[in-house]
Amino acid sequence: MIRIHKMMATSLGIGYIGKGGGTVAAAVAALCWYLVLAGRHQPGYGPLIFTIAITLLGVWSGNEVEPYWGKDDKKVVIDEVAGMCISLLFLPVNWKYVLAGLVLFRFFDIRKPLLIRRLEVLPGGWGVMFDDVLAGIYSNLILQVVFYFNLL
């Protein structure tokens, strides 16, 4: 079972890339989001349900791999996938929003302003996931303002 958790936590192996794995995972998530949903304005609740499922899987797998790899190991990139998905929820799916979401999400995820860093201290998979969840929320809020005022 641990092999399955390692595959989930590394987002099907992306986390094994090493340095830059988080950026690659976020970029792959953004690309997949675009390819699957391009041209639509978030159809139904499918993307939301998918994002919640990825987040919960990340918490579970983060808990399971921590005894083997330590706290929030760099190989664990499912948190970047979840955060990237959160940043794109309820927005038009076009290349401008996807690219802006990727840039904003990576900014918040790397710099960790506005209480994001504090969430890393949560235990196990919660700490792994929820700093990226908050980075995704901040990114999404900015993009919602951009969308509302038709700035892109």
How do residues 80-112 score in pLDDT, each as one tens digit?
999 999 999 999 999 999 999 999 999 999 999
Average pLDDT over residues 11-34: 96
Average pLDDT over residues 144-151: 97
Burial tier of 126 (Cβ tally within 10 Å: 0-12, 13-18, 19+): middle
User: Do 128 and 58 contact (CB within 8 A), yes or no?
Assistant: yes
CA 22 to CA 114: how far, in whole Å?
A: 20
Tell me the whole-structure pTM to 2 decimals: 0.95
CA 1 to CA 18: how far, in whole Å?
A: 23
Among all chains, which residue has been given the structure tokens 């639509």?
40
CA 134 to CA 52: how far, in whole Å?
A: 13
| Per-residue pLDDT at 41 | 66
The answer on pLDDT for 42 being more than 60 is no
